[in-house]
Amino acid sequence: MAKTIVVKQIGSPIRRPSKQRETLIGLGLNKMHKTRELEDTPAVRGMVAKISHMVEIIEEKG
């Protein structure tokens, strides 16, 4: 079974660069306090790091 992480959106993309909004959408997040369980890959980790001020990692499974 692949490792997964649970990511929660804690910040709004309002008044942020469009690239940051696109990164949120790429992670499957678009509303405040929404959570997603994503595969733990370097690509996903990089996206989370890019917008770390708007998301938090709640849990790491696997």
pLDDT at 62: 86
27 CB neighbour count, 10 Å cutoff:
20
pLDDT at 39: 97
pTM (two decimals)? 0.92
Could you tell me which of 60, 5, 10 has the C-alpha nearest to residue 34? 10
Average pLDDT over residues 52-59: 97
Could you tell me which of 50, 43, 41 has the C-alpha nearest to residue 22? 50
Could you tell me which of 6, 43, 4 has the C-alpha nearest to residue 26? 43
pLDDT at 50: 98
Summarize pLDDT for 11-53 with one digit per residue, the tens: 999 999 999 999 999 999 999 999 999 999 999 999 999 999 9
| Structure tokens belonging to residue 58 | 């709640």
pLDDT at 30: 95
